[in-house]
Structure 1
């Protein structure tokens, strides 16, 4: 199958961001070997929304047997979950795939008492926000492949929320990605982050159904 370009951008950027193995093409999408006990591999359907076919989901679910494997399908969970079969459990329902055009806007300055640090290694740019004592406040990273960048690992400490730090991180990452040649961004947004992303001009492409392979139970 020909994968949706936004899915391919997300897969390629996520692999770079997390240091995972290069994606392998499958008839239904992509397999990525991650190498963690709780996340040994992820298997991503290449289509979105109405382009996701029941037969492809069932084939992917049947072909993946490893405990710790994850399945990512960009379609409504109400459609997808009945197609998975035994051995799969959903998690993190409410996530979505989002995209945005990157502008040349200057990132906002941090609030008084906060410091922003930015560095790039091996194609991944990281932003760290700390308070005046150097304590962690917020972070994020982006990985650029060609004209696309994946925004990843956005986090704000509970002790430092509602101070605009998420906007600082996102703005700094987007400016760095555009300076590095990216013109569009893609991310997987959690329910907690979607309000921020939409306020910054990001648009929802599709719901994201997450499922993981349960350990086999003894007979």
Structure 2
């Protein structure tokens, strides 16, 4: 594993994710971090680096609105068993993954007709791939925070999948981060993205799951 411990990888992901999303500086707690996000659907998030049932129930009990999810690094079935009534799992989380940037393959060439545009601003490099007609095809971004970096918001439009665009985006982001001095990288993988990342040499560091208070239970 590129990181010595899971906690080290989690911290790198928290710092990188906050930088990537222009969120507030993570506030440390004994159980992890709180990040003020400032969006209508996600006002803030709690990231539990060392989750247990007592901590999950305490935080869930103190959270009375729907826009503050709990992010944990335990399997979904474990988190579900710990949740009090009124909380539901968020779908799509697969795991926290990491890779040594020196081991990530260089980006392949784009298929005919596609164009790649990238730019760097405030420590974040963004990559967008557009089709021949100018339509959106794929994207991704990476935030460098010292020797580590966090890949974020990687997606390929359904009409342009299975053409290698994800590999192009990931390779381009890895090269950009390495040029800025980063040696290792992390990302929060979705179920859909995990296969691509594993094919590129990324390894699962820990399972990942999340939950939010249900609006049907009276959350504001």
When the two structures are superposed, what TM-score results if normalisation uses the length of structure 2? 0.91
Unaligned regions of 5+ residues in structure 2, if any?
A: none
Q: Which residue of 2 aligns with 1:130?
A: 130
What is the RMSD computed on CA atoms of the aligned residues? Answer: 1.8
Per the TM alignment, residue 157 of structure 1 is displaced from its structure 2 partner at its CA by 0.9
CA–CA separation in structure 2 for the residues paired with 1:94 and 1:24: 23
Q: Deviations over 1:28-76 (max 9, x none)?
A: 11111111121111100013xxxx4322222322232222111001001
CA offsets per residue over residues 14-37 of structure 1, 9 Å max, x none? 101111111111221111111112
Q: What's the secondary structure of 1:166's corresponding residue?
A: helix
Corresponding residue SS for 2:102: coil
Number of aligned positions between the proteins = 213
- 1:100-129 deviation digits (Å, cap 9, x = unpaired): 110175321111111111100111100011
Q: Matches of 1:75 and 1:150 in 2, distance apart?
A: 20
> How do residues 145-156 of structure 1 correspond to structure 2 at under 5 angstroms?
145-156=145-156
Alignment gaps of 5+ in structure 1: none
Using the TM superposition, give the Cα deviation of residue 193 of structure 1 relative to its aligned residue in structure 2, in angstroms.
0.6
Query: After superposition, where does 1:98-117 map in structure 2 within 5 Å?
Result: 98-103=97-102, 105-117=105-117
Give how far 1:217 is off: 2.8
| Mapped partners of 2:61, 2:188: distance in 1 | 25
1:26 aligns with 2:29: yes
1:78 aligns with 2:81: no
Matched, 1:57 2:85: no
